[in-house]
Structure 1
Amino acid sequence: MSGADLPTLPPVRLPTEAELARDALAVPLVTRAAALARWARPGVPVGAGAELLAEGLPEAIAALGLDAHEYATELTVEAWNFAVDTGLVDVTEEEGEPGTAAGTAAPGAELERLTAGTPEEILDIWADGLEAVLADAATPTIEDLLGDDLESFDPETFDLDTLEWDPDEEAAFLDSALAQLYLLAATDEDVAAGAMVPLPVVAAALVVPDGEEPEDGEEPSDETLEEVSSVMMRLDEQFRVLEGTGLLEYDPVDQTLIVAEGEEAADELPAEEEDLTRYGQVRLTPLGVYGVRRRMREAGLNAPAVGDLATAGAGALLTELPHRAHGAAQAEAEAWLADRDPLTAARELLTAARGTDEDAPLRRLGCQLALALVGAPAEPALREVLADRELGGLARVWLAERGAADVPPPDEDLIFWLTIDTLAAQLATVDEEEEDEENELRTLIDGLTVQHSSFFEHAWRVDHPATAEVLEAMGRLHPDRALAEEARKAALRARDRGE
């Protein structure tokens, strides 16, 4: 499947590359790796896996100022591995006797790029290191793999193929978790603003497929609870590893909640009123959103960012805006308008909003969203289209909202045409799987028929390409059975009139 055949992910808001590069340089793992690269004078002996030898470790720890740190060795080893994986340290292999150094290390060419390179070069180095850490996070330890059989482990005869472990499956599991966090950052305004996501929410999303969530009041099965608990513990281990990369912010699971061997596990997830923070909470940092998006794009996915449409044509902008969350849509429109003359921009938007094609109602809805951000200089453009059948309604709304004088009132035909056009656009943006969105549309439809008792008698006569489809949708969604039947009859009359 090509990238063009894949669904487009919701757009995310990202800082500038310069800001992201500053974030990357401030990541503790990166600063320690750079410090070790500068410390690694030519000739530092390393082992066969490019690891620091035991005799060199104390000096490396001292170079990082970690002498008194509880996890000095672990942090130093992680930083050294990151330096090697990213090329901040170069390793030269050498021949030698068994048990001696297998090579030497020295500062690498990437160190200069990290300290004096462009934001793009800095982010490339960070992304290379992230890939290595992600691979490590998705790889279980020998202890995890062998469990009770660890005592019989013999490295010389050990065969990894005999274990029930699929590295591709492990990597896909972690990618799925990061994708869930990415989608929340793109679609949830609170998460985008920095709110943390409870770990049980992430785990449940991985365990329970979309569309199979329990009904309201229905308790999940014991098997589901057990699987969610297991996934939480798995994610807890992986997120602890990834936190040091700057990819995510993570508050780990409270250690007192972890069941010791031989004890009985809890048989239910935390109640809603319980402090969920004890069960872990997580979010992608802005740098993490950038990193996950970069990996998705490299995998061929369509993962846009807010601002991608800043240089697009007005038609492309208007078609996309209604599909975006309010904050993202406003930011996208602001970016598009930023370097344009308001009056010229308004005319471009209005021209692109015209049409009788299937996407035209969406473009007109997008036009309303964009024009809401344009000030008084755009007024002449709106007055120019007052007599236009397709644009006169939205022009009157724009002018009235700004208290403009001498705005001619719309006639009844225009009011009904604008109503059908608006409903057609709303229907095009509703996700049938999102119950809240459908309920909002149902409320809107109910309100229309309450305000206009003879709505359907007038509506079927509206000369709009989407009249029949809109009336059919009203018949499907209207909460009043009698009015729903009226809508269906009106839809049939509209179709007969159009034939």
Structure 2
Amino acid sequence: MSEDRPTLPPVRLHSDAELARDALAAPLFARAVTLARWASPDTRVGAGGELVEEQLPEAAAVLELGPADGVEDEEDAAACASEAWRTAVDTGLVDVTDPPDPAGSAADAAHGTAAPGEALAVVAGGSPQDVLGLWLEAFETAFADATAPVLDDLGALLGDDGELDFDALDWDPQQEAEFLEAVLGNLYLLTVSGGGPEDGWVPLPALAASMIVPDDMGEPTDDVLEQVSDAMMRLDDQFRVLEPVGLVAYRPVDEALMAEEPEGSPAAGELDEEDVARYGMVRLTPLGLYGVRARMLEAGVDAPAVGDLAEKGADVLLASLAYYPEQAGRAELEQWLARREPAAAAEELLSAARGQDPAAPLRRLRCQQGLLLVDAAAEPSVRAVLDDRELGGLARVWLAERGAADVPAPPQEMVFWLAVDTIAAQLDADGETPELEELVVGLIGQHTGFLDSAWRVDHPATAPVLEAMGRLHPEKKIAKEAKKAAFKARSRTGA
């Protein structure tokens, strides 16, 4: 099997325009925009660009926060306003001036000022890509907040010099960031691979366990289960921070449930379906898929998206499609074909499908799948390869499926060559699956003396294919004959 498989399956992203609308509607970003429009020379900020405490009630009032926003009191409102203001500053929606040198005046009287930043114009008149660029900066701010330490007791963390004692925090910023990056990576993989639930929601215990429990571990130990529980609580805090920026949809852990079961972990046994959601559920939003992928690309991760290949040549297309999931592969083919005339597209696909290298059978299978999406205007290009040993078989299949007239019967040698090529492609794509077993049983059953003839096929994969047929066929006698045929094939080629 090829070692060139992509790191991740391709993601199907919404259009930039749709994603930009989602970004502008994300609560945290929308609040940052509102405060940027509110900012004026009268707005007072501290040394770090933060709103001074006296300004927070006015900022909160401008945002019109209430219970629907998860805000229950003035303290919550002030915290939300402060968070939105910091996002506005970090994204350039607001420009701040530093406080003047307090020398000669009371230090607490010194403050800077603020005004709408240049980035605010992007919100009203920028392109979708420009808006998404701003949102990515807001995501970075939210990510930093999610990985920041929880300062419950500041007094206990202050050193003799009045500065924070970071050693006492037991907080490693790099470790925290790497943990959250890995969590989002797992969530992304579950989403794009279809490995998660159909509705996209992933139980928090399962996500936490994926970070803690080794793959080869049987029954988790009590220590591991405790680590899973700790990770759940950690993620609960982090997803609460990331939800307002639009990255995830999140159903928090039911605190009452955790109080009912102070010992143990939900990973310790089976949960009733009705209880699963009470332990927390999370899913990436379409905007979240875009954001996590952007971070991956920046980190050098191969994270393809459907549409990436639309302007590439057919050789790159077929090589890249080799291991795409079925639906993503079809979507990529549709986008590639939409930019080309049917006859020219078919000719380019067929040309790229040729070859005797190990990856060639799978290229031809993907070529055949692409041709299924091309209309009858491609018929001249397909007929042009009827006499080609590598392509003539799939060309006949295409013509026959469309009811074309005057399709010549394939020579027996071409029939067997196509059979070997098809099985080789299926083996490379998916391995020895039940579906391939059905294909093998059908081929041998339909063609009398198949194994007696197959070992003579001049195809690089003949021997490996026959060996696989021997493993796959349920009848011991036929399986043994297939293995003998594989031996003959190797003897004939000296391989």
Output the TM-score relative to the length of structure 2: 0.89
Q: Counterparts in 2 of 1:317-336, with a 5 A limit?
A: 317-336=317-336
Letter matched to residue 175 of structure 2: E
Q: Deviations over 1:290-342 (max 9, x none)?
A: 11111111111121111111111111112222311111111100111102111
1 CA distance for matches of 2:436 and 2:235?
Answer: 38
Alignment partner of 1:208 is 2:213: yes
2 CA distance for matches of 1:100 and 1:447?
Answer: 87
Q: Deviations over 1:197-225 (max 9, x none)?
A: 22222222212344x264xxxx4443443
Equivalent position of 1:53 in the other structure: 52
**Cα distance change on mapping 1:6 and 1:84 into 2, 3 Å:** farther
Of 51, 60, 78, the match for 1:73? 78
2 CA distance for matches of 1:53 and 1:242?
Answer: 25
Of 153, 158, 163, the match for 1:154? 158
Equivalent position of 1:18 in the other structure: 17
2 CA distance for matches of 1:377 and 1:5?
Answer: 34
1 CA distance for matches of 2:232 and 2:445?
Answer: 49
Equivalent position of 2:189 in the other structure: 183
Of 166, 171, 175, the match for 2:172? 166
**Cα distance change on mapping 1:168 and 1:360 into 2, 3 Å:** same
2 CA distance for matches of 1:274 and 1:345?
Answer: 49
Equivalent position of 2:26 in the other structure: 27
**Cα distance change on mapping 1:39 and 1:6 into 2, 3 Å:** farther
Q: Conserved in 1, the CA contact under 8 Å of 2:20 and 2:129?
A: yes
**Cα distance change on mapping 1:304 and 1:492 into 2, 3 Å:** same
Alignment partner of 1:315 is 2:315: yes
Shift of 1:257: 2.1
Letter matched to residue 59 of structure 2: A
Q: Conserved in 2, the CA contact under 8 Å of 1:361 and 1:424?
A: yes
Q: Counterparts in 2 of 1:102-251, with a 5 A limit?
A: 102-143=111-152, 152-154=156-158, 156=162, 158-188=164-194, 195-210=200-215, 212=216, 214=218, 219-251=219-251
Alignment partner of 1:100 is 2:100: no
Secondary structure class of the residue paired with 1:41? coil
Q: Deviations over 1:166-189 (max 9, x none)?
A: 211111110111111211222118
Of 453, 459, 472, the match for 1:464? 459
**Cα distance change on mapping 1:313 and 1:456 into 2, 3 Å:** same
Q: CA RMSD in A?
A: 2.7
Compare 198-207 and 332-341 and name the one that shifted more.
198-207
**Cα distance change on mapping 1:455 and 1:179 into 2, 3 Å:** same
Q: Conserved in 2, the CA contact under 8 Å of 1:138 and 1:238?
A: yes
Equivalent position of 2:96 in the other structure: 91
Identity fraction in percent:
55
Equivalent position of 2:391 in the other structure: 391
Q: Conserved in 2, the CA contact under 8 Å of 1:242 and 1:248?
A: yes
Shift of 1:382: 2.1
Equivalent position of 1:337 in the other structure: 337
Letter matched to residue 377 of structure 1: A
Alignment partner of 1:306 is 2:306: yes
2 CA distance for matches of 1:189 and 1:264?
Answer: 30
Q: Conserved in 1, the CA contact under 8 Å of 2:12 and 2:305?
A: yes
Equivalent position of 1:434 in the other structure: none
Equivalent position of 2:350 in the other structure: 350
Compare 363-372 and 72-81 and name the one that shifted more.
72-81
**Cα distance change on mapping 1:157 and 1:28 into 2, 3 Å:** closer
Secondary structure class of the residue paired with 1:31? helix
2 CA distance for matches of 1:272 and 1:482?
Answer: 47
1 CA distance for matches of 2:171 and 2:243?
Answer: 24
Aligned residues: 479
Q: Conserved in 2, the CA contact under 8 Å of 1:42 and 1:107?
A: no
Q: Counterparts in 2 of 1:414-433, with a 5 A limit?
A: 414-430=414-430
Shift of 1:471: 2.2
Letter matched to residue 147 of structure 2: A
Equivalent position of 1:62 in the other structure: 61
**Cα distance change on mapping 1:498 and 1:5 into 2, 3 Å:** closer
Secondary structure class of the residue paired with 1:258? helix
1 CA distance for matches of 2:238 and 2:122?
Answer: 29
Secondary structure class of the residue paired with 1:355? coil
**Cα distance change on mapping 1:88 and 1:205 into 2, 3 Å:** same
2 CA distance for matches of 1:324 and 1:280?
Answer: 31
Shift of 1:467: 0.8
Where does structure 2 lack aligned partners over 5 or more consecutive residues?
Answer: none
2 CA distance for matches of 1:267 and 1:284?
Answer: 22
Where does structure 1 lack aligned partners over 5 or more consecutive residues?
Answer: 432-436
Q: Conserved in 1, the CA contact under 8 Å of 2:17 and 2:128?
A: yes
**Cα distance change on mapping 1:67 and 1:493 into 2, 3 Å:** closer
Q: Deviations over 1:456-486 (max 9, x none)?
A: 3222111111112222333455555554443
**Cα distance change on mapping 1:167 and 1:483 into 2, 3 Å:** farther
Q: Deviations over 1:262-286 (max 9, x none)?
A: 9433475462543222222211111
Shift of 1:230: 2.4
**Cα distance change on mapping 1:198 and 1:152 into 2, 3 Å:** closer
**Cα distance change on mapping 1:151 and 1:113 into 2, 3 Å:** closer
Letter matched to residue 173 of structure 1: F
1 CA distance for matches of 2:413 and 2:174?
Answer: 61
2 CA distance for matches of 1:113 and 1:19?
Answer: 16
**Cα distance change on mapping 1:452 and 1:338 into 2, 3 Å:** same
**Cα distance change on mapping 1:442 and 1:206 into 2, 3 Å:** farther
Q: Conserved in 2, the CA contact under 8 Å of 1:36 and 1:60?
A: yes
2 CA distance for matches of 1:67 and 1:272?
Answer: 34
Q: Conserved in 2, the CA contact under 8 Å of 1:24 and 1:126?
A: yes
Q: Conserved in 1, the CA contact under 8 Å of 2:205 and 2:267?
A: no
Q: Deviations over 1:126-179 (max 9, x none)?
A: 111111110110122123xx7xxx774435254213443321111111011111
**Cα distance change on mapping 1:205 and 1:486 into 2, 3 Å:** farther
Secondary structure class of the residue paired with 1:380? helix
**Cα distance change on mapping 1:265 and 1:101 into 2, 3 Å:** farther
**Cα distance change on mapping 1:265 and 1:482 into 2, 3 Å:** same
Equivalent position of 2:370 in the other structure: 370
Output the TM-score relative to the length of structure 1: 0.88
Q: Conserved in 2, the CA contact under 8 Å of 1:246 and 1:285?
A: yes
Equivalent position of 1:283 in the other structure: 283
Q: Conserved in 2, the CA contact under 8 Å of 1:61 and 1:67?
A: no
**Cα distance change on mapping 1:205 and 1:483 into 2, 3 Å:** farther
Secondary structure class of the residue paired with 1:99? helix
2 CA distance for matches of 1:268 and 1:317?
Answer: 42
2 CA distance for matches of 1:466 and 1:410?
Answer: 21
